[in-house]
Amino acid sequence: MANFQLHKQTKKQVLKHVAILAGAFAISIVFSLVLFQRIASQGLWNMVLLTFIQLELFLYLGNRFFKSVDPDTPGAIRKTIIRLVLFYFTVLLIASALFLTLFAWHFWRGGAPFSEFIPSLMHAELRSFLTAAGIGFAVGALFFFYTQWADTVKRMQKLKEEKLIFQYETLKTQVNPHFLFNSLNTLSSLVSSNPALSDKFIHKLSAVYRYVLENQEKDLVPLAAEMEFVKDFFYLQKIRDGEKIELKIDFEETGTAKIIPVSLQMLVENAIKHNVATRKEPLLITIHFEGIDKLVVRNDLRQRMQLAASSKIGLKNLNERCKLILNREVETQETADEFIVKVPLKLNNQSK
């Protein structure tokens, strides 16, 4: 199987180089027709060889120059234009060096005196080469820019689709009948038994809904705001489940880090929904840092015999959004006793 895959990759690479060679041949014929009004002009094969080498270098450098362009970073348009100009002059300079090397080699083989090198260069080939290379590389550079732009548009479209899924899932989770019914039922009992606590419960419930509605369309939110939201959400759950559940936040300073909105709440809710919790064996959920740009949510693993209904899309959607927005993935780990999820953060000095 491994040999088959290797053979397949080798065949793919060979076909790629053959296609580039065919392209070099076609380009050389076109320029021969334009510049000399005939197909088989003198030096056609030299032009093919030079064009082939230039195309190989062009494709390699193009991928290097434009691979990491991100339109979401500050000053992205200006940086992209600078890269485009630098790329154009870089490939033109390399191509000129290759041309001069090839011309010098042929000139030396011809045995002409060195004093005729510059006149021969100016008379025979230089203008044609600069015309062909200048136009060809300009078109090629614009092509790379276009393809990068198309990839970016596709990426942004995918992000919008993931956002729509996220918004639907988030609203469905927070406003689903079970959550609302349980909250109102708890509130109903508190109004008569503990009016002061019921007033606080109402404020927390309002804060939870307000946070979801205000942040569901955002890419990132301050970690401090997300943590306050998680505390409010857990407070509502704690009123209902009492000593069955515990939340331990093992850090104090959140700094300027940002996180995908409603991500931690989703993980906390999943832990409560899918695991058994009793007063004798309360379910412990812990949130702590790993390094400076990763937040870990871990919970005791005591899965229910009959799991609560789940779309099973929440964690997948969170991972997709992290890949699209932060270029990083969510890490999950399951041991005999714990389920662990590591969520990437964006620091203030990090690019997306």
Q: Are residues 134 and 6 in the same domain?
A: yes
Query: What CA–CA distance (Å, rounded) separates 73 from 61?
Result: 22
Residue 333 pLDDT > 60? yes
312: left (phi over 0), alpha (psi -120 to 50) or beta: left
How sure is the predictor about 294, in pLDDT bands with cuts at 50, 70 and 90? very high
Residue 290 pLDDT > 60? yes
Tokens representing 64 are 């290097």
Residue at 247 is within a domain: yes
Residue at 165 is within a domain: no
Residue 188 pLDDT > 70? yes
Q: Are residues 93 and 213 in the same domain?
A: no
Residue 299 pLDDT > 90? yes
Q: Per-residue pLDDT tens for 95-114?
A: 777 777 766 776 777 676 76
Residue 1 pLDDT? 40
Is this model's pTM higher than 0.75 or not? no
- Inter-residue contact 141 to 87 (CB < 8 Å): yes
Q: Are residues 20 and 132 in the same domain?
A: yes
Q: The domain that contains 289 carries what CATH number?
A: 3.30.565
Residue at 51 is within a domain: yes
Residue 140 pLDDT? 65
- Inter-residue contact 311 to 169 (CB < 8 Å): yes
In the numeric block, the tokens 């997948």 are attached to: 316
Residue 5 pLDDT? 44
Query: What CA–CA distance (Å, rounded) separates 167 from 212?
Result: 9
Residue 129 pLDDT? 63
Domain that holds residue 340: 175-344
Residue at 168 is within a domain: no
The chain-wide mean pLDDT, for the chain, equals 75
Selection from 75, 73, 68 nearest residue 151 by Cα: 68
Query: What CA–CA distance (Å, rounded) separates 13 from 53?
Result: 16
- Inter-residue contact 205 to 183 (CB < 8 Å): yes
Residue at 212 is within a domain: yes
- Inter-residue contact 73 to 79 (CB < 8 Å): yes
Q: Are residues 235 and 334 in the same domain?
A: yes
DSSP 123-151: HHTHHHHHHHHHHHHHHHHHHHHHHHHHH
Selection from 251, 230, 249, 233 nearest residue 241 by Cα: 233
- State mean pLDDT over 306-315: 61
Beta bridge partners of 245: 283
Q: Are residues 75 and 204 in the same domain?
A: no
Which CA distances in Å does 345 have to 91, 165, 196, 286, 325?
Answer: 38, 21, 37, 17, 10
Which CA distances in Å does 165 have to 111, 327, 330?
Answer: 72, 19, 17
Residue at 222 is within a domain: yes
Residue that terminates a domain, selected from 154, 186, 202:
154
Residue at 159 is within a domain: no
CA terminus-to-terminus distance, the chain: 38
Q: Which of 16-25, 197-206, 314-323, 336-345 has the largest mean confidence?
A: 336-345
Q: Are residues 147 and 204 in the same domain?
A: no
Q: Are residues 19 and 91 in the same domain?
A: yes
Residue 246 pLDDT > 70? yes
Residue 223 pLDDT? 93
Count the domains in the chain.
2
How sure is the predictor about 288, in pLDDT bands with cuts at 50, 70 and 90? very high
Residue 88 pLDDT? 73
Q: Per-residue pLDDT tens for 1-52?
A: 434 444 556 777 778 778 877 877 776 777 666 656 666 666 667 667 767 7
Q: Are residues 19 and 138 in the same domain?
A: yes
Q: Are residues 141 and 208 in the same domain?
A: no
Residue at 162 is within a domain: no
How sure is the predictor about 267, in pLDDT bands with cuts at 50, 70 and 90? very high
Beta bridge partners of 299: 285, 339
- Inter-residue contact 65 to 86 (CB < 8 Å): yes
Mean pLDDT lowest among 85-94, 218-227, 269-278, 317-326: 85-94
Q: Are residues 48 and 99 in the same domain?
A: yes
DSSP 253-312: --TT-EE-TTHHHHHHHHHHHHB---SSSPEEEEEEESSSSEEEEEEE--B-SSPPP--S
